């Protein structure tokens, strides 16, 4: 893994009224890595994701994406950056009036010269790569289960082969089998497509299975970053409780059994 940050956050400050969510937050995301972002409820994991994805400008700080200043740049440059990133929202956020295939085609409509037939074929490919059956392409989001909606959301996020993918709680609400299948999908896609993944999660199994590095949000900033092994030696009470609690022990045990 080259020391080549594709995203650099410096001094980020986010607040809602008087409630400060982030203050002087620094974070680097390196090319090709899967970064898991964890933290207690209300520590602003999703806010941070929205902030980087350009959905919510921070009150202060600097965001560099692909070496460009993402906050001060022109709108055209920002769109260029956005085209190289994909976001999968918690429940897929699929357009409910379109079929899954049409949903995946939406980002491709901006590509000049791409005819409808080829677009449709590529959408089918993305749907199949996300682990959905072919017939799912003709279905509407309301006809899919939660896990399938998430996969379809991932297919749409990957439609243009982005370099960075943001995943917001990819395994929340899935059964354990569906969740671990999703973890494997993320791992496999990030390896073959060379994706950089920013992954917000609560799921310790996902952290074990997919993440190269973990960032812990606490006390309004990124308290610690490091590998899973590093996290086990952190003394901070919340982090210790998180990675040594009964659920964490169970996750480690499962990991060791399968490895």
Nearer Cβ to other proteins (44/147): 147
Tokens of 256: 């060791």
To which residue do tokens 């791992």 refer? 187
Q: How far is the CB of 153 from other proteins (least distance, A)?
A: 16
Tell me the per-residue interface mask from 156 to 195 with other proteins, x by CB under 8 A, - otherwise. --x-xx--------------------------x--xxxx-
Q: Please, what is the Cα angle at 22 between 19 and 25, to 5 degrees?
A: 160
Nearer to other proteins, 96 or 258 (CB): 96
Nearest approach, Cβ of residue 125 and other proteins (Å):
5
Smallest separation, CB 161 to other proteins (Å): 4
Q: What 3-state DSSP class applies to 12?
A: strand
Q: Which is nearer to other proteins, 4 or 219 (CB)?
A: 4
Distance CA 243, CA 91 (A): 26
Residue 168 neighbours by CB under 8 Å, 6+ apart: 46, 49, 87, 88, 89, 90, 200
Cα torsion angle, 64, 83, 94, 213, sign: negative
Among 85, 122, 164, 200, binds other proteins (CB under 8 A): 122
Residue 110 DSSP symbol? G
Piece of the chain touching other proteins by CB under 8 A; list 22-30, 123-131, 204-212, 224-232:
123-131
Q: Minimum distance between the CB of residue 155 and other proteins, rounded to whole angstroms?
A: 11
Taken in order 245, 246, 248, 252, is the CA torsion positive or negative? positive
Considering only 129, 172, 218, 234, the residue that binds other proteins (CB under 8 A) is 129
Query: Shortest approach of other proteins to residue 15 CB, angstroms?
Result: 31
Instruction: Supply the minimum distance, in Å, between the C-beta of residue 95 and other proteins.
Output: 11
Q: Which of 1, 2, 3, 135 contacts other proteins by CB under 8 A?
A: 135
In sign, the C-alpha dihedral spanning 78, 212, 251, 128 is: positive
Residues 6+ apart with CB under 8 A from 233: none
Q: Does 127 bind other proteins (CB under 8 A)?
A: yes
DSSP state of 38: E
CA distance linking residue 244 with residue 224, whole number of Å: 16
Choice from 23, 64, 82, 124 touching other proteins (CB under 8 A): 124
Q: Which is nearer to other proteins, 121 or 219 (CB)?
A: 121
How is residue 116 written in tokens? 């409808």
> Binding of other proteins at residue 60 (CB under 8 A)?
no
Main-chain dihedrals φ then ψ at residue 224, nearest 5 degrees: -140, 145
Nearer to other proteins among residue 165 and residue 222 (C-beta):
165
**Residues in the site for other proteins, rule: CB under 8 A?**
96-97, 108, 111-115, 118, 121-122, 124-129, 134-135, 142, 158, 160-161, 188, 191-194
């Amino acid at each position: 893994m080259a020391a080549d940050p594709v995203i650099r956050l410096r001094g980020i400050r986010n607040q809602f009224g008087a409630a400060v969510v982030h203050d002087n937050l620094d974070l680097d995301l390196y090319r090709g890595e899967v970064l898991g972002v964890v933290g207690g409820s209300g520590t602003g994991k999703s806010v941070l994701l929205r902030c980087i994805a350009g959905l919510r400008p921070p009150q202060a700080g600097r965001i560099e994406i692909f070496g460009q200043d993402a906050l001060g740049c022109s709108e055209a440059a920002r769109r260029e950056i956005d085209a190289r990133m994909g976001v999968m929202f918690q429940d897929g956020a699929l357009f409910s009036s379109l079929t899954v295939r049409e949903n995946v085609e939406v980002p491709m409509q901006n590509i000049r010269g791409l005819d409808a037939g080829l677009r449709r074929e590529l959408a089918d490919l993305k749907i199949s790569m996300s682990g959905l059956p072919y017939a799912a392409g003709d279905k509407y989001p309301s006809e899919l289960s939660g896990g399938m909606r998430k996969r379809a959301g991932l297919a749409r996020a990957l439609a243009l082969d982005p370099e960075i993918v943001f995943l917001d709680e990819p395994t929340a609400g899935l059964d354990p089998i569906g969740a671990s299948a999703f973890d494997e999908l993320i791992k496999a896609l990030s390896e073959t497509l060379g994706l950089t993944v920013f992954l917000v999660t609560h799921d310790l199994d996902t952290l074990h299975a997919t993440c190269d590095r973990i960032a812990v949000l606490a006390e309004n900033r990124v308290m610690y970053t490091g590998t899973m092994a590093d996290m086990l030696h952190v003394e901070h009470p919340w982090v210790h409780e998180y990675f040594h609690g009964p659920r964490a022990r169970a996750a480690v045990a499962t990991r060791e059994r399968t490895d």
